Structure 1
Amino acid sequence: MTQTTTSPTVAQHLVKQLQRWGCKRIYGVIGDATLYLLDAMGKQSDIAYIACRTETNAALMASAEAKLTGQMAVCIATSGPGIASLLNGLADAACDQAPVLVITGQVERTHLGTGTVQDINQQALIHPIARYSSLVADSHAFPKLLNIAMKMACEQGGVAHLSVPKDLWRLPVTGTPFPSPPTKHYPIPTETELEQICKRIDDAKRPVILAGRGIQHATGPALQLAEHLHAPLIATMPAKPYVPNDHELFVGGLGQAGSEIARELLEQADLCLILGATWWPSDYVPSTVPIIQIDADPQHIGRTHATVGAVAGNLAHLLPLLINQVAAKDHPSYAEEIAQKKQRWNQQLTTERTPSAQGLTPAQGLTPAHVFAALNEVIAPDAIMAVDTGDHTLWLERTFQFDRQELLLSGTWRTLGFGLPAGIAAQLAQPGRQVVSIAGDGGCYYSLPELNTAVTHQLPLTYLILNNQSYAMEQRRMEVEALTQVGAVVPNADFAGIARACGAEAHRVTQPSELTDTLVQALASPRTSVVEIFCDSPPLPHYKIITGIDETND
């Protein structure tokens, strides 16, 4: 007698396919249109389901995990309001090209387009954000559509989406899970392309290097190239952890939170070599400096600025070729100028980071620079820092001296509320590492309910809240432009009290003398710990309303 094999359902196939591709967790919020999927999730143990408090934070967690690991992350939501709430977090993944698969439930197929409860055209809704989005109309098409979506997210970076009507989850599928995709291949430049940029580099007398996130796996060659050319090295914010901040050629960042000397050197440069960065802040850079750009993705090259030369390929392979083909530079006067400027910049940082250097007594207020100076002294060298968007972000970029700490931020989308969900995702993905989330009081409100999520999963996450009772970045820009400050100053709740109500350990810092010991205690705690720090918000030297591209992209 022939034994029949029961075909897996759509929900079961999704779980099996994600298992095959190495998915470890799914972030989401429960809803009527995904109940059968959650039932399938509950009957296996390979993939954890992280029940979030809002869909926005679920998407931000998936985005942060994808940025941290480089692997596809997954989030789910129900129909209508569920997918609508996902969009802000998904936009972060889309803008930073983080590979995220999003699965949303949908109303029954017979109700599509009828205006029933939670009926909306999800493909139209997500169109500006997703690289790929499809409505699953038949259960047997689901395996192919899922494979396409996953490959699009992984190979192109960004968001891929499937909308699954809730009557499909229990229907059978035809086919087995697809294998994992092959290793991504980089373009290979021609010898002519390499010769052209090498000649440009050889001709330069005052070259400058701008390094972006793309040097992550080519840190050694990037530093060797800078030393070979004796070129000052500017780093975008996401690249700061990959460049030793005490290196003799490191001159800080560029832009509103950047160093004055980086801007000076770039203004006097006769060539800027951009490595793995798409960012070119037009408000802070000269319009005449020639640019050579090297990037793994050809689509990044010349996207926001003209170049005089470019090659696309694997930086870990290309940079050693350049070192071998271009002549070493020995310009003593340029080297002396860089050293003098760097000494001046270090003195400026000392003044900004040290209360006593600014004439403040222990009884006077803290500033973000003082907070980050203290954190610098006690944070683990390999910690993960998940940073929200706000005034504190600028001060962190300007003053924090990175060792090997890894940085997660909303680079291009710059949403408020990124810090806490990103820290939760980081602690879940890499539980053996110290994780510190940092937010201002404005951004804190966007994701504060996720403290429950951190506590539920018993995460030893440290969450720093810099409380200055305002949207300080906007307030300072309004001041500079002589605008009224409507909406800039807002009263706050008791963040430490809310943290305790959520089951977290909580601390309050109101005096500089309390700061270091409190940070040490929170970082050492095995529990989720919140440190509310009351601080002032002094203006940065470069505050203005930005009209071009700002300072925290790649």
Structure 2
Amino acid sequence: MKLHEVVADGLKQLGVTHLYGLIGDANLFMVNSFVTSGCGRYIACNHEANAVLAAIGHAQVTGRTGVATITHGPALTNAATALTEAAKGGNPLVLICGDTAPGDLQHLQNTDQKALVLATGADFIDLRRADTALEDMERAFRRASLLRKPVVLNMRVDLQWDETGPQKIGFEPPAPVLAPASGALLEEAVGMLASAKRPLILAGRACIGDAARQALVALADRIEAPLATTLKAQGLFDGHPFNIGISGNLSHPTATEVIMQSDCILAFGASLSKYTTEDGAYTQGKRVVQILPDALETPRMAPPTIRLIGDIAGTANAMTALLDLAEIPGSAATDTALAERLNAEAAAFDTLPAEVATAPGTVDITMALRRLHQSLPRRRVLVADLGRFVFSAWRNLPVTQPRDLVFTSHFGGIGCGIGQAIGTATTIDDCPTVLVAGDGGMLLSALGELSVIRRETPDLVIIVCNDGSYGAEHVQFTNRALPPDLSMTDPPDFAAMARAAGLDAVTISNAETLEAACSAIADRQGPLLIDLRLDPEKVFK
């Protein structure tokens, strides 16, 4: 077998079903072997960054390691932002990247790829020889899965046609079995909980899974505590009568009041970032017990009162058992009055808000997104690019389970949404993917991928929040009474460009066209782009 055939077969042995990429002279034969041998589905993107981002999107909605492939040199520099996004987000990813032959100093695409990769926070592993190919691949996939980070597998172009015998993968992707937290710190944490008058359980992304959810709900019911989530765990407690929703700057008024009145917070699988705690306002003066499944996250955020390391479900069950053993009564923090207030919040959300007056040819973002929410299936995957519109998107287009929220903003860059939406929409086939992006993000990275969307025909709805500006810069100019001219984008007609690429598209500029867009969602037969025209002076700041 040739090396490129061995690598393709190795991906099949590792259970890789989706490979995202852009071919060049260092990876084209491997991709060809992957496709022609029926190893899995190959989705070609038009920019290397979007190929890597697509693999991140795939990883977020499946919980598995995403896989992408690109060639060398400028292909890798093009992907640097995407690799950094994966590293900061703790997304398991393997990028099979080409490299120039050693000693070929005059190769135009020769660069120090290891130094570049390490600067992004990703790991770097050389594919050493043809006869070590699967051994090196094993190591890359193992590190990506265990450390929840991107790993670049560096595959030299001069090795592609080297001969070797068939090779077998000698491991399965690890599924670590963790023990519950135990000992004196656990007992101290339960003591805090036992004395609390208004406890609150907060769950983060690490709580995804039936076992963790059931254990947290049982603990909450036992101590009569309301349940909240971080943004990235939105929907985890959907349907529970005392689910107060998201903790942070997306909290509704009742949730904010409940969180502020709490005296002890049990934070399971949550990093307690400033966005979840409102810059510490939600945790100030409270006893905070943080339970994490491993120690990888501990240096990142402000320390809690107590930090426990252990299995989420097992630790929650251990707390419930200790409370039962000591016959500790419930806190009475959940009652009929709270249930009624939460029902009122839900009813208010189901009612369209009054429309805020905007400039001619534009609509109110909150009312428009809420109406689109009503038109979309209740279950959908939300991919929100970054921009000042994003809070409105997260608030008005909620998801019903955590894996249906694809977070694209770990590195704080616009334009990371389209790639992750491609990865999501080509993976999930039982509900639509909804991408919400700004005009700046679309201009930066999305227009070149419209042909990919046409070719793959996923169930994808793209909502372009088009206020004709770079929002954060517009805010800074206007806050200082300076003209915002430099922040204006003068965008093209996105709907016309989408139609030219072979997609269906509509523009929303008033109440009538908003209803037409809702009808287009209901009648869609393939990808749909919605150009949502907004007033830059009235977008959420």
SS class of match (1:205) = coil
Alignment of 1:225-240 (within 5 A): 225-240=219-234
Deviation string, structure 1 residues 180-205 (Cα, Å, up to 9, x no partner): 23432224322434322111111112
- State the AA in 1 paired with 2:525: P
SS class of match (2:531) = strand
Aligned 8 A contact 1:509 1:531 in 2: yes
Aligned 8 A contact 1:367 1:537 in 2: no
Deviation string, structure 1 residues 439-487 (Cα, Å, up to 9, x no partner): 1112112222111101111223211111111122443355446666464
Corresponding position: 1:270 with 2:263: yes
Number of positions where the alignment pairs a residue of Structure 1 with one of Structure 2: 528
SS class of match (1:380) = coil
1:74 Cα deviation from its structure 2 partner? 0.9
Deviation string, structure 1 residues 294-343 (Cα, Å, up to 9, x no partner): 122222246311122232233233323323433343446x7578568758
Task: Give 1:444's aligned residue.
Answer: 442
- State the AA in 2 paired with 1:210: L
| In structure 2, distance between residues paired with 1:528 and 1:77 | 26
Corresponding position: 1:123 with 2:114: yes
- State the AA in 2 paired with 1:500: R
Corresponding position: 1:323 with 2:334: no
SS class of match (1:110) = coil
Aligned 8 A contact 1:437 1:464 in 2: yes
User: In percent, how many aligned pairs have the same letter?
Assistant: 22
1:533 Cα deviation from its structure 2 partner? 1.1
Task: Give 1:146's aligned residue.
Answer: 137
- State the AA in 1 paired with 2:216: A
| In structure 2, distance between residues paired with 1:252 and 1:458 | 34
1:438 Cα deviation from its structure 2 partner? 1.5
Task: Give 1:41's aligned residue.
Answer: 34
- State the AA in 1 paired with 2:8: V
| In structure 1, distance between residues paired with 2:508 and 2:538 | 21
Alignment of 1:5-154 (within 5 A): 8-111=1-104, 114=105, 116-154=107-145
1:147 Cα deviation from its structure 2 partner? 1.2
1:103 Cα deviation from its structure 2 partner? 1.1
| In structure 1, distance between residues paired with 2:524 and 2:295 | 45
Task: Give 1:489's aligned residue.
Answer: 488
Corresponding position: 1:166 with 2:160: no
SS class of match (1:209) = strand
- State the AA in 2 paired with 1:275: F
Task: Give 2:280's aligned residue.
Answer: 285
| In structure 1, distance between residues paired with 2:397 and 2:537 | 16
| In structure 2, distance between residues paired with 1:164 and 1:403 | 41
SS class of match (1:503) = coil
Instruction: Give the direction of change, closer, same or farther, for the CA distance of 1:470–1:516 in structure 2 (3 Å limit).
Output: same
Task: Give 1:550's aligned residue.
Answer: none
Instruction: Give the direction of change, closer, same or farther, for the CA distance of 1:397–1:82 in structure 2 (3 Å limit).
Output: same
Task: Give 1:214's aligned residue.
Answer: 206
SS class of match (2:30) = helix
| In structure 2, distance between residues paired with 1:209 and 1:64 | 28
Aligned 8 A contact 1:72 1:101 in 2: yes
Aligned 8 A contact 2:57 2:422 in 1: no
Instruction: Give the direction of change, closer, same or farther, for the CA distance of 1:397–1:437 in structure 2 (3 Å limit).
Output: closer
Instruction: Give the direction of change, closer, same or farther, for the CA distance of 1:371–1:342 in structure 2 (3 Å limit).
Output: same
Task: Give 1:5's aligned residue.
Answer: none
| In structure 1, distance between residues paired with 2:537 and 2:228 | 25
Which of 241, 247, 250 pairs up with 2:235?
241
SS class of match (2:225) = coil
Corresponding position: 1:532 with 2:528: no
Corresponding position: 1:199 with 2:191: yes
| In structure 2, distance between residues paired with 1:484 and 1:363 | 21
Task: Give 1:503's aligned residue.
Answer: 502
1:395 Cα deviation from its structure 2 partner? 1.0
Instruction: Give the direction of change, closer, same or farther, for the CA distance of 1:204–1:364 in structure 2 (3 Å limit).
Output: farther
| In structure 1, distance between residues paired with 2:202 and 2:537 | 28
The answer to which of 67-76 and 508-517 deviates more is 508-517
| In structure 2, distance between residues paired with 1:203 and 1:443 | 49
- State the AA in 1 paired with 2:51: A
| In structure 2, distance between residues paired with 1:439 and 1:103 | 28
Instruction: Give the direction of change, closer, same or farther, for the CA distance of 1:285–1:220 in structure 2 (3 Å limit).
Output: same
TM-score by length of 2: 0.89
Corresponding position: 1:184 with 2:176: yes
Task: Give 2:423's aligned residue.
Answer: 425
The answer to which of 424-433 and 129-138 deviates more is 129-138
Corresponding position: 1:463 with 2:457: no
| In structure 2, distance between residues paired with 1:479 and 1:343 | 39
Instruction: Give the direction of change, closer, same or farther, for the CA distance of 1:374–1:29 in structure 2 (3 Å limit).
Output: same
Corresponding position: 1:387 with 2:388: no
1:231 Cα deviation from its structure 2 partner? 3.0
| In structure 2, distance between residues paired with 1:160 and 1:96 | 13
| In structure 1, distance between residues paired with 2:91 and 2:533 | 34
Deviation string, structure 1 residues 112-152 (Cα, Å, up to 9, x no partner): xx253111111100103354212334333332221111110
| In structure 1, distance between residues paired with 2:148 and 2:332 | 41
TM-score by length of 1: 0.87
1:65 Cα deviation from its structure 2 partner? 0.2
| In structure 2, distance between residues paired with 1:216 and 1:65 | 16
Task: Give 1:377's aligned residue.
Answer: 374
Aligned 8 A contact 1:258 1:397 in 2: no
Instruction: Give the direction of change, closer, same or farther, for the CA distance of 1:315–1:524 in structure 2 (3 Å limit).
Output: farther
| In structure 2, distance between residues paired with 1:474 and 1:342 | 37
Query: Where in structure 1 are there 5+ consecutive unaligned residues?
Result: 1-7, 544-554
- State the AA in 2 paired with 1:501: A
Aligned 8 A contact 1:364 1:512 in 2: no
SS class of match (1:273) = strand
Aligned 8 A contact 1:476 1:539 in 2: no
- State the AA in 2 paired with 1:77: I
